[in-house]
Structure 1
Amino acid sequence: MMAKEIPVLPFKRFLKFDELTDFVSTLAAARPDLVTLTSIGASREGRAIHLLTITDAATGKPEDKPAYLIHGNIHALELSGTHAALYTARQLVVDHDKSDLLKRVVFYIVPRINPDGAEFAVTTSGSIRSRTDRSEREANTLYQEDVNGDGLILTMRQEHPDGSLVTDPKDPRLLIRRKRDSAGPFYRTLPEGLIHDWDGTDNIRVEGRSFDWNRNWSYDWRPEPEQGGAGDFPFSEPEMRSMAEFIHSHANIFGILGYHTGPGAVLRPPSTGSDTDLSEEDVRVMDELAQIGSEYTGLPIYPVVKYHSADRRDINLRGHFHNFGYHHLGLFVFEFELGILKNSAGIETEEILAAKKPEEEEEEMRRLMKWWDEQEERDEIYKPWTPFEHPQLGKVEIGGLLNRHLAGRTLPDLEEISKGTYQFTVEHASRHPRIILEDVQVDAVGGDVYRIRARTANRGHFPTNVSNQGRSLRKLRAVQVEFHPACCVNLLSNQGHYHIGHMNGLTDSRLLEWFVSAPPGKQKLCEIRVFGGTGGNVSVYVTK
């Protein structure tokens, strides 16, 4: 039977849900010995939250190997995360013939946590964080909708005496802040849409309640309004609950990587407080790994609390992934901010985050538009302002910049960054804990009595507790050894099962010993099972 061709991942456009489904299905069908497609659950609107399980099936079950989890597209407009996750999934398969990583490690890849929000973003370019609740519509509230029938949700601008914006005289496609000496016309802007139960006044709110799922993780979760977008309780969103249940049901996970699309950066914990709240040794290891990510991608490194514009104090993000991953899971977790369109235009992250006057921010947008004008092949990031008779507001103009493209790099740029994030992933994953059984030996003591010896060891880089923080957490299971005598074999030792505890990396081992009696002619003596948590599981049958 001829092997099926591994599908090409197109870096030409962002993927709709059906296109995403086609790609992951084709990848799984091309290499069923390496890739299994399932889901961790369904979205609020019923779309599958796809899960790719990637490992060499010939070398053991996924649940018996150390596991690395990748997730992307938790925020609707951050569509680049899906592509980066899929790039890694595909490349793991392509590189399998020249690497033994899939023989030792399983990768769990959720390329799109938020299929509903992403579908809204990729099809309309409308503005949404993770989810917007439109179930109970309130009076005088504008809800996004394609009112002019062009298939997109853009920006409406309308002349208004109190408008805070004017046309940029240096680039009339843009709007800039109104100043004391600005000449009209003056504009107010609203998202394209309709106003529910409008009373005709200027008191117009925009959209329903907004949810940010990267504030819905469990550690240090805080309710709204203390933490905007947090939801009703930790993991209150069904997609996030599916993620939590998956993570907590897989004791083999030793590392997690998330993909986002802010200004390009490698992010590490903490997301509240400071480094002094973490183990000093853990910070050293995180910095070492983050530096590898920076070297492969060229992106600067930030602790999450420092990832902000220079004129702001350190941020504290409650219910955030990084603190959840470190404090609740005990893992070294990272996020790649894959970059925004300004990065593709040559504006570096440090410049984007630098303290600026409004005039400097306006000049940055002019640089972006000038760069875009010079590109031979380019995404459509701008729609001309076009007059439209709005059924409620009257004369407006609809157009402006497309959110879905501003929120990420160009796709050719993203492909290059994805190569670097893949290399980081391989490097991080190669440091997995690795529990093995070695030096298994059987000696006849006399009569029908036999001594069985075996050494359980961690020959991987990380300890089974991964971090110092993880040593005391129940989530990271300590190493346990079970001894199961074969039929008609009697255990003579006082102890059969052993609770080993966590094991350090590379050089940590325990030599275990059992005495059994077995009738003449009995070859099979026992099965030894080792449950190694993040280091995986192993079992051997012992014969005379």
Structure 2
Amino acid sequence: MKTTFTYDHYADYAELTARLVYFSEHYPNYTRLTSLGKTPEGRNLWAMEVTDLRCGDFDEKPAQHIDGNTHAGEVTGSMAALHQLDVLLTGCEEPRIARLLQAYTFTFIPRISPDGAEVYLKTPDTLRSVNRPSGKAQSGVVRQDLDQDGVIRWMRIPDETGAWTADAEEPRLLRRRRPDETDGVFYTVMPEGLLQGESEDLLKAAPARWGLDFNRNYPCWWRPEQPGAGDYPLDNPETRAVAEFLIDHPNVGVMVTHHTSGGMILNPPGPFSEAEQDPLDRSIYHAIGALATEEMGYPLLNLYDGFHCTESDYAAGAGDDWAYLNRGIFAVTAELWDLQSRAGISVEEQLEPELSDAERLRQQKLTLAWIDAHCPQAWKPWTPLEHPQLGQVEIGGLDYKFTIQNCPPAYLREECEKATRFALRQVCLLPRVAIMRFQAQPLGHDFVKVTAEIVNRGYLPTWISRQRQAMKLTKPIQIELTGAEILQGQAQGEIEALEGYGQDQTELSFSGVYGQTAALRRKIEWIVRAPAGTRVQLNVRCAQAGQASASCVID
């Protein structure tokens, strides 16, 4: 895929901003760059809209929304969003891309947490969404980069009462000590760091310094007791800005929110099983998932069913759930990058809720073997260190941030290209109103019969989803006829909705053809009075499905 910029490293805020400004300045006929506001640390929360403005304004076409970096450490997501934007603009004159830009609008919020991502990229720290205190006291072993190698790894402490020992087959890894194991070298394991607060007689890993989770902060089945949920829905300026942006863009019908990792596409609903979902919406989600699997090799999993959730234990307040359940947008979460699958561990094995110690060790061995073969620099051998509080310890293990949570940089472009290929197919599901036929038939004495056929060229219906209908957010198709005196029919009228070709119910088998086609077209007639040579204009517009116009001259 042709791009202007390279995708072999992770852009910090300054570089991300420079790329967006470049595109804004070099493609003024395609882009609108907007700051949705300032973060608490003064960074802009950038949004960019992209379309071919020669063929209609941003709000005059059906739209796809793309975002990334809801979680600060999932920086692959922001690079995937930038990559798709780059592909669209760099290739804007290529026939396929040009057609997409003529027909659709693309909206991007590439980095929802610029403050958090900056900490993640420029320090050894990890964090969920943003570097704002979440209220938990840091008592225990607080994660710090003691050996100053830029990575916070594991720390093992020699301890004859420790619960861990080196694995005989792969001594770089630790296995749990067996119940009857009395001879050997044993360890207590902790994250690399320093003791803070009262340690008493045991060691514990301190809670995360920053625990806020933007993906638990949306007003959709929000629960205050859920970790990271915040004080109330949308109390973070970043999530509030995202919600307001989507509310202000009713033409958004499909969406991809880029996260990491795991190599899967997650579809709402998250608070309940998809068995309880409207059957039509469920079938559309499965169709979207099939496209993702074809392009990315990643399976579709329902958020609730795929993660073995229960009525009391499910992810509440998620952004994709809010987009679908509250706004009727077909939103999916792309969990980009999956080292474990590359290492031979299936998604089902990764999601097993109760891994045995033996199975966990087996998976770690496969993972380490892949790292040895493809990015050996990510693993640090166990190295002695004199700890200021605990005495002699050893530091070692994996650079988790850029092997498992995100791609090693050498794999970044490949992952971005997969995400872009999928997104450029997903957008094609959107409904698009069109005028198939518009003609005038003279009846004599300046009386004229005007006929139009309005169609939906998209896979989705003009109402987008049953969920959007249930939330009463759908807008009808507006029709306006001008240029002549109307004697019969309305100058301004409405069509409630048109189905898309995805709602076709015909079945084809060797025994015959059954069922019915989708109701995706509507014929409208007027009787007007106008002399020969009069030009009659028809304008059709739908908030979710774009607009079309046509004219004809009366003979």
| TM norm structure 2 | 0.82
Deviation, 1:278, is 0.8
CA distance in 2, matches of 1:207, 1:275: 33
- Letter of the structure 2 residue corresponding to residue 327 of structure 1: L
Tell me if 1:430 matches 2:425.
no
- Letter of the structure 2 residue corresponding to residue 102 of structure 1: L
- Letter of the structure 1 residue corresponding to residue 40 of structure 2: R
Matched with 2:251 is: 252
Deviation, 1:474, is 2.8
SS of match in other structure, 1:84: helix
- Letter of the structure 2 residue corresponding to residue 282 of structure 1: D
User: Is 2:133–2:212's contact at 8 Å kept on the other side of the alignment?
Assistant: no
* Identity among equivalent pairs (%): 28
CA distance in 2, matches of 1:523, 1:316: 63
Alignment match of 1:387 (pick from 381, 385, 388) = 385
Residue ranges of structure 2 left out of the alignment (5+ in a row): 502-518
- Letter of the structure 1 residue corresponding to residue 113 of structure 2: N
RMSD: 3.6
Alignment match of 1:330 (pick from 328, 331, 346) = 328
Deviation, 1:332, is 2.3
User: Is 2:133–2:211's contact at 8 Å kept on the other side of the alignment?
Assistant: no
Per-residue CA deviations over 1:438-488 (Å, capped at 9, x if unaligned) read 5455678899998766554323221111122222333332223356x78xx
SS of match in other structure, 2:120: helix
Q: How many pairs does the alignment contain?
A: 526
Tell me if 1:367 matches 2:366.
yes
Alignment match of 1:499 (pick from 470, 494, 497) = 494
Alignment match of 2:72 (pick from 76, 96, 105) = 76
| TM norm structure 1 | 0.83
SS of match in other structure, 1:333: strand
Tell me if 1:187 matches 2:188.
yes
User: Is 1:437–1:455's contact at 8 Å kept on the other side of the alignment?
Assistant: yes
User: Is 1:36–1:53's contact at 8 Å kept on the other side of the alignment?
Assistant: yes
User: Is 2:438–2:551's contact at 8 Å kept on the other side of the alignment?
Assistant: no
SS of match in other structure, 1:7: coil
Tell me if 1:211 matches 2:239.
no
Alignment match of 2:95 (pick from 86, 94, 98) = 98
Deviation, 1:157, is 4.4
SS of match in other structure, 1:335: strand
Matched with 2:514 is: none
Deviation, 1:289, is 2.1
- Letter of the structure 2 residue corresponding to residue 535 of structure 1: A
- Letter of the structure 1 residue corresponding to residue 243 of structure 2: A
CA distance in 2, matches of 1:378, 1:528: 65
User: Is 1:383–1:401's contact at 8 Å kept on the other side of the alignment?
Assistant: no
Matched with 1:117 is: 116
User: Is 1:125–1:404's contact at 8 Å kept on the other side of the alignment?
Assistant: no
Per-residue CA deviations over 1:34-72 (Å, capped at 9, x if unaligned) read 344333333332222222322222211111111001111
- Letter of the structure 1 residue corresponding to residue 542 of structure 2: G
1:70-469 correspondence to structure 2 within 5 Å: 70-96=66-92, 97-99=94-96, 100-131=99-130, 133-134=132-133, 138=137, 140=139, 144-146=143-145, 149-159=148-158, 163-180=162-179, 181=181, 183-192=184-193, 195=196, 198-199=197-198, 201=200, 202=202, 205-208=206-209, 210-224=211-225, 227-308=226-307, 316-354=314-352, 356-375=355-374, 380-382=378-380, 384-390=382-388, 396-405=393-402, 406-437=404-435, 439-440=437-438, 454-469=452-467
Matched with 2:48 is: 52
CA distance 1:448–1:33, shift in 2 (3 Å): same
SS of match in other structure, 1:38: strand
CA distance in 1, matches of 2:333, 2:136: 35
User: Is 2:64–2:254's contact at 8 Å kept on the other side of the alignment?
Assistant: yes
SS of match in other structure, 2:228: coil
Deviation, 1:108, is 0.9
CA distance 1:351–1:411, shift in 2 (3 Å): farther
Per-residue CA deviations over 1:78-98 (Å, capped at 9, x if unaligned) read 222122222222222344412
- Letter of the structure 2 residue corresponding to residue 425 of structure 1: A
Deviation, 1:305, is 1.8
